[in-house]
Amino acid sequence: MSRKIAVLILATLALAACSSAPQRKAEPAKVSIAPGGGGYLAGDGPSADTGIDMDAIPDAVPKSEPLHRYANRPYIALGKTYKPLTATGNFKQRGTASWYGKKFHGQRTSSGEIYDMYAMSAAHPTLPIPSYARVTNLANQKSVIVRINDRGPFLHERAIDVSYTAAYKLGIIDNGSAEVEVESLAANVNATPIAVSEPEQSKPPEITPPPAPITAAPVALAPLETSETSVYLQLGAFKSQQSAESFMERMRSELSDLGKQFKMSVKDGLVRVHIGPYGSKSEARAGAESMRRTLGFRPMVNLP
């Protein structure tokens, strides 16, 4: 009988610890690296064809932002107490990085923002939210700059969890994890990543190729305006208009029964394919979840 009581007490303490952690859900107890398949959590990657050119997504650019009112308070996760930092630019550590993808995509981070597996972001136990960090893969010297907007990881003494796109650029998708160096960056620091071992493949932040020259009968491109009563979903982003047009035609075929409009716009040097409009962001998110079952990936809610 005393043994059963002890087990109940331990279970109660574990639940209490999890309840005091930030908003991001704790990872399942059974985690495994999937060699060749990618993902710290098995099956966490997107489908093979997402329509997103991750090479064209620029690194996060450090800038001055006010600290989150709640996400930087001391907290307890899985029985361990964490005290977040309140200053940037004076922190460096080496440890294991992993990544999190579609199982958290669309959920709220500790900052209250929606997690986007294709954005250059990361989760860290103690770096300020929001803040910026340079993450360098020590095996290949590839480096990225990410924005810290979430708490974690809390299992297996990992140092940082990066987004799917950041993991892709660091070259850790297939292995699921890698030994890295994490360096906190102050606002307005030089955001140029450290050169990788293959310079011809490196891409400086915020410099993306312009859309391909417009061919005959081009689709009109214009800034996409959104409001709470007119919201669009982004289906994909491309470096060339030709690729965007081809992808949009395929989406027209697969989503023709939705009765929605398809539009293209240019933002940050990328040609983006949108579908809509929706009456509200909540309606758009519901539509994105429905499309996930059809397309194999979840479109993003377009933010103005």
Q: What is the pLDDT along the chain (304 residues), one digit of tens a residue?
A: 455 555 454 444 444 443 344 445 444 333 333 333 344 455 566 655 567 888 888 999 999 899 998 999 999 888 899 999 999 999 999 999 999 888 888 889 999 999 999 999 999 999 999 999 999 999 999 999 999 999 999 887 899 999 999 999 999 988 889 999 999 998 764 444 333 333 333 333 343 444 444 333 344 555 665 555 678 888 888 877 877 787 888 788 778 888 889 888 888 778 888 898 988 888 888 888 888 777 767 788 876 5
**So what's the pLDDT on residue 49?**
58
CA 77 to chain centre: 22
Q: What is the SS3 assignment for 150?
A: strand
Residue entry with tokens 């891409």: 203
Domain boundaries defined on the chain: 15-206, 231-301
Q: Note the pLDDT of residue 121.
A: 96
- Torsion, Cα 17 23 25 26, to 10 degrees, reads -40
Residue 286, token pair as written in the block? 């519901």
Residue reference for tokens 């040609």: 271
- CATH dotted code for 231-301: 3.30.70.1070
Contact 105, 40 (CB under 8 A): no
Cα(25)–Cα(18) distance, integer angstroms = 9
CATH code of 15-206, in short, is 2.40.40.10
**What is the b/e burial string over 73-95, where b = at least 16 CB atoms within 10 angstroms of the residue's CB?**
eebebeeeebebbeebeebeeee
Tell me what pLDDT residue 145 has: 96
Q: What is the rounded CA–CA span in Å between residue 222 and residue 213?
A: 16
pTM for the model stands at 0.53
